[in-house]
Amino acid sequence: MSRKGGPGDKGGPRVLRTRVTKKSGLKESSRRWLERHLNDPYVQRSKAEGYRSRAAYKLIEIDDRHKLLKPGLKVIDLGAAPGGWCQVAAARTRSTEARPHVVGIDYLDMDPVPGAVILKMDFLDPDAPARLTETLGGAPDVVLSDMAAPTTGHRRTDHIRTMHLCEVAADFAMSVLKPGGHFLAKTFQGGTEGELLDRLKRAFRSVHHVKPPASRDESAELYLLAKEFKGIAGEPS
């Protein structure tokens, strides 16, 4: 790998660009991916500002526009590793180690996040929903999900598995949210089932898809945002 200065060197901080050479021994597709990743401005910014991943900026940009996170709100983060969304949620709700009101869950190992409690378990475990609300100490105001299924290499299979996670996350959110609460989850273009959208539209005052600037243009990734939970018809909210 080599580094060289990029545009904007004059009159400001030096901008470094990483070039992964063909001598690295990587396959060409892997070499291009690594070079793009290393030169991604959100990756560089996350390292400079102390966020666990570039995904933190997706939540930041969505929250800046839609105002989901406020001081004192209780938040559950599904698929929390490596912890970027927990970091943002803890900061914006002013959650502290003494009085945490952000709980994350993931079956992957992750470092502690100040102001958040992390459960190491699979969200699909039947005991997970009860553990989350018990740990949080009550119903959440916001349920977040950046979950995506581990890739198999088969695009259609990967798509279906991630959409299943979105549906399970939505079911969970509608079963635990406080009235007026919000739900935000990863989905894909053209992938949100009509039945799920219909259910969400009955349960929330507004439902739409958002794509923050931090989500790469070439990615099919979208976020499903459901605001102001009304409750499920026929059930107490």
Give catalytic residue positions: 186
Query: What is the SS3 assignment for the chain?
Result: CEEEECCCCCCCCCCEEEECCHHHCCCHHHHHHHHHHHHCHHHHHHHHHCCCCCCHHHHHHHHHHHCCCCCCCCEEEECCCCCHHHHHHHHHHCCCCCCCCEEEEECCCCCCCCCCEEEECCCCCCCHHHHHHHHHCCCCCEEEECCCCCCCCCHHHHHHHHHHHHHHHHHHHHHHCCCCCEEEEEEECCCCCHHHHHHHHHHEEEEEEECCCCCCCCCCEEEEEEEEECCCCCCCC
Based on the number of CB atoms within 10 Å of its own CB, is 164 exposed (0-12), middle (13-18) or buried (19 or more)?
middle
Q: What residue type is 199 in one-letter code?
A: R
CA dist., res. 173 & res. 106, Å (int): 16
Distance CA 161, CA 165 (A): 7
Structural contact between residues 181 and 142, judged by C-beta atoms closer than 8 angstroms? yes
